[in-house]
Amino acid sequence: MSIITEDKLLQVVKHLIKGGMSKPETIEHLESIAKIAGLGNGNLEKVYENVLSEIPSRHIKINLTDTIEKWISVTDGAFSVTDCYKELQNVTSVTNRNSFRVILNRLKDKGIIQRVGKRDGVFRKVDDVATEINWWDASENPMDLEFPLEIGKFCVLYEKNIMIVAGQKNSGKTGFMLNFTAKNMYKNDDINYFSSEFPPTELKKRLMKFEDVPLSDWKRVKFKDRVYNFADVINPNGINVVDYMEITDEFYKVSAFIQEIYQKLNKGVCIIALQKKAGTGLGIGGMMSAEKARIYLSLNHEIRNKVHRNWAKIEYGKNRVTDEINPDGLQREYKLVQGWKFLPQTIWHQEGEI
């Protein structure tokens, strides 16, 4: 009967590595062999590393399963069998695409990935990490914010909240955002205003219309040029104003963009302006744009018999000032002066009450 020596054990290690076996599996096999041979475990990990360093890389067969798992670990979003095959062509000699499909289906059965939708061969990484909500340290008080048209009498924002302002053309979206900024810039040191349409000269002229705010005071606000990926630049703990989230197609993505902002927020808030069509309450993306909003305000404009009419409507307010007053559906007419003054023309009321 053949006796297992340390030299033969090293030969086993070399063959296993060349065959593409992963490090954990190789060491597991070595432990079993060493136990049978009565050699003792020793430092098998060091043995593995020493043997590995002596083998030219060209002689080592890539373990395809390990390679795919490592690729999945750094991959975000959905991917297909073809995506995986193309990405790993440079690091593996396996040319049979079906081998990738088989391994990905095995990883699906192990719960490492899961199928996306009904399309065959499309997966995403399973993310089983859920951050615990630290509710016991959270502030019980709403953010100290003031809104145009006295919206704050009915609904408020707390930390990590989002407000949507959906307005049609000429309804005063930018005026509302600048007005909100002017009302809060003296009591909040960190206001970030992201504009998608103002070159410097136009912004300066717009700010000069605020006769009650010295032009130099606007330096308190960080005005920034931005048209996309707002989640990458917002301050998680500040006040963020997005004027506006410009989307020209694939409106269904609005929800994902707003979700990204929500995930980035910590103790701050974000006010987001959206375009909307006349005659509709919600902005682009419809209900998909409303999922994360704690206040959803629509600004409306119409011309009837050559008379301009503007009105604001609280589509819904989830954080109510008092349970006695439901703000959902409340509306108020206003006159827009100089592009930023919101002069109330009626009290807040439900449709048909005035």
**Judgement on whether residues 120 and 196 belong to the same structural domain of the protein:** no
**Judgement on whether residues 224 and 324 belong to the same structural domain of the protein:** yes
Q: What is the mean pLDDT of residues 5-14?
A: 64
**Judgement on whether residues 160 and 190 belong to the same structural domain of the protein:** yes
Least confident of 70-74, 97-101, 183-187, 282-286: 282-286
**Judgement on whether residues 82 and 112 belong to the same structural domain of the protein:** yes
Q: What is the mean pLDDT of residues 262-272?
A: 93
**CATH number of residue 288's parent domain:** 3.40.50.300
Q: Which of 44, 59, 74 is the last residue of a domain?
A: 59
The number of domains in the chain is: 3
The pLDDT value given to residue 41: 56
Q: Quick check: is 354 in a domain?
A: no
**Judgement on whether residues 213 and 151 belong to the same structural domain of the protein:** yes
The pLDDT value given to residue 57: 45
Detail the DSSP E strand segments found in 1-156.
78-80, 113-115, 122-125
Q: Is residue 296 over pLDDT 90? A: yes
Q: Quick check: is 130 in a domain?
A: no
Helical spans, DSSP H, in 209-310: 254-264
Q: What is the mean pLDDT of residues 79-90?
A: 84
**Judgement on whether residues 23 and 39 belong to the same structural domain of the protein:** yes
User: The domain containing residue 30 runs over which residues?
Assistant: 6-59
Q: Quick check: is 224 in a domain?
A: yes
Contact criterion met (CB below 8 Å) for 287 and 276: no
Q: Which of 41, 59, 77 is the last residue of a domain?
A: 59
Q: Quick check: is 278 in a domain?
A: yes
Higher-confidence position of 47 and 258:
258
**Judgement on whether residues 164 and 17 belong to the same structural domain of the protein:** no
Kindly report each contact of residues 251-258 with a partner whose C-beta sits within 8 Å and lies 24 or more positions away, as own/partner: 251/284, 251/285, 251/286, 251/288, 252/285, 252/288, 253/285, 254/283, 254/284, 254/285, 254/288, 254/289, 255/285, 255/288, 255/289, 255/291, 257/230, 257/231, 258/162, 258/164, 258/289, 258/291, 258/292, 258/293
**Judgement on whether residues 28 and 114 belong to the same structural domain of the protein:** no
**Judgement on whether residues 112 and 147 belong to the same structural domain of the protein:** no
Q: Quick check: is 332 in a domain?
A: yes
pLDDT digits (tens, 9 = 90+) for 111-148: 999 998 877 889 999 988 777 878 788 888 899 999 99
**Judgement on whether residues 218 and 338 belong to the same structural domain of the protein:** yes
pTM: 0.69
Distance in angstroms (rounded) separating the CA atoms of residues 339 and 174? 8
For 88, residues 6+ apart whose C-beta sits below 8 A from its C-beta are 67, 68, 71, 100
Contact criterion met (CB below 8 Å) for 20 and 63: yes
**Judgement on whether residues 195 and 47 belong to the same structural domain of the protein:** no
Phi, psi of 270 (to 5 degrees): -140, 130
**CATH number of residue 93's parent domain:** 1.10.10.10
Q: Which of 38, 59, 80 is the last residue of a domain?
A: 59
Q: Is residue 340 over pLDDT 50? A: yes
Q: Quick check: is 104 in a domain?
A: yes
The pLDDT value given to residue 60: 44
**Judgement on whether residues 48 and 108 belong to the same structural domain of the protein:** no
pLDDT digits (tens, 9 = 90+) for 47-70: 666 655 555 544 444 567 888 888
Q: Quick check: is 353 in a domain?
A: no
Q: Give the mean pLDDT of the chain.
A: 82
Distance in angstroms (rounded) separating the CA atoms of residues 275 and 258? 14
Q: Quick check: is 350 in a domain?
A: no
